[in-house]
Amino acid sequence: MASLAQALLLIATVWIARWLWLAFSARRILNNIPGPPSRSFLTGNLKEIYSFDGWDFHHKLGEKFPIFFGVGKRLRAALESRVKQGPKEVDLLLWMSRTALELVGQAGLGYSFDPLETDEIPPYIVSVKQMQVTFHKMALSARYLLPLVTEIGSAQFRRFIVNIVPWKNLHEARDILDTLYATAVDIYNLKKAALEAGDEAVSSQIAEGKDIISILMKENVNASSDERLSEDEIIGQVRINRWFALNIHSYLLQLIRPRPPFPRTLHILAKHPDAQEKLRKEIRLAQQEGIDITYDQLNSMEWLDAVCRETLRLYPPVSYLARITRKDVILTTSTPVTTLDGSTTTEIPIPAETNILVSLLGSNRNPAIWGTDVLEWKPDRWLSPLPQSVADAHVPGIYSNLMTFNAGGRACIGFKFSQLEMKVILCLLVERFKFSLSDKDVTWQMSSIAVPAVEGTKPQLPLKVELAA
């Protein structure tokens, strides 16, 4: 027993010494780079980085289709039934969350999560609404503590520890993940039963077996043994596709009020009634009675496109990404940096194992790229040639010179899906309804995805909705 304790102590000592050496090496190099003043010797700026109200801090860092229309029409009908007697306050965050998951459920999973008819909220929606807030509360521990303990013991042992640790946020995260996992297993079992029953059972499903998970499972049967996915890996793919849905709904809620994304798009349009009315006229001009807008028509609507681009520029749902360098690299800056010793440089050596925060918000709001009006919501900027500085910046983002959907091999896999969904839902809703601000004070919280909240941390986006003239 004594020898085991000594061995464990030796391992812990070596690990701590290695961590301290890496931290010291990175600090020795990076301490000469100017940055925001540290609030604490122990935590530095971590509290500001992971704060729900971190918008100003991150901004200052940056300074220096059939399925779509089908689900969208169900949403429109649900809202119409609630406001047909007159204007009414509606929680758009709830309805957009439900719609986004239903769209991804049908298109990606061939599964219907929600009929979008009643006010009854399915358990997974409750989990989805609280997930970003709960996970953001655990951001520091999830990044620096959990990686150290996730491989300790068996899954049953780790579950036992999670259950007995007196940590409310951890227990909330456990319950949320249990709900999401149980739903993923249900979807997998339904798909598996349909495949085993034959082609007729598969074609009778929502997406007629053409959804991503059905195709994956069918091909997996024919794959060689060394390439075949296990059941747990396929269930993992179901969960990834559902996580993609969570990112989409935030883009939609973005448009209707001041600051922050479709929650925000509707939010911003509520603050800019002239822009909302202009969009409504464009939609009605393109729309023929009883006929859905075509894909080509959707892409030819200039004001709709400008509204979406500008919202995604100014209010990216994800403000920053965390990365760890896997090897020593040289970071080349676009402009010279004056170090604390007075010298200037355009190359900063970054040691391996250094934690890096990539500011998507900072790139999208960089005045050197976008001009002095960078903080103004101006869809008109997209109706004329962009400044030469935008092209000269060579922003690596995969979408419209923006970092909203990230860049490279880690870019958002569903950004085209997201754009199409955003435009379709906006066309269906703005044509039929007028959105206005409610009397409740809404703040946007910087969690893993920007979330509107009322009364502190209660995820909600109340807007006044009425039938448009």
What SS3 class is residue 272?
coil
CA proximity to 301, closest of 275, 315, 281: 281
Residues contacting 425, CB < 8 A, separation 6+: 68, 72, 75, 96, 99, 252, 262
At 269, list the tokens.
Answer: 């349009």
Residues contacting 465, CB < 8 A, separation 6+: 79, 82, 83, 87, 88, 89, 90, 92, 433, 434, 435, 436
Residues contacting 198, CB < 8 A, separation 6+: none
Q: What is the DSSP string of 187-238?
A: HHHHHHHHHHH-HHHHHTSTTTT-SHHHHHHHHHHHS-TTTPPPHHHHHHHH
Q: How far is CA 113 from CA 100, 101, 192, 376, 442, in A?
A: 10, 7, 18, 38, 28
CA proximity to 311, closest of 303, 320, 299, 301: 303
The crossing angle, in degrees rounded to 10, of helices 123-137 and 231-252 is 80
Q: Is 308 one of the annotated binding-site residues?
A: no
| DSSP 8-state symbol, 436 | E
In which residue are the tokens 């403000």 written? 319
Q: Which long-range contacts (CB under 8 A, 24 or more apart) does 412-421 make?
A: 412/247, 413/244, 414/244, 414/247, 414/248, 417/104, 417/107, 417/244, 417/248, 418/247, 418/248, 418/251, 419/308, 420/65, 420/68, 420/298, 421/68, 421/100, 421/103, 421/248, 421/252
**Helical (H) or strand (E) element with 266:** helix 263-271
10 Å CB burial of residue 200 (0-12, 13-18, 19+) is exposed
Residues 151 and 321: their CA atoms lie apart, in Å, by 24
> At residue 103, what is the residue type?
L
Could you tell me which residues are annotated as the binding site for heme? 412
Where is the binding site, in residues? 412
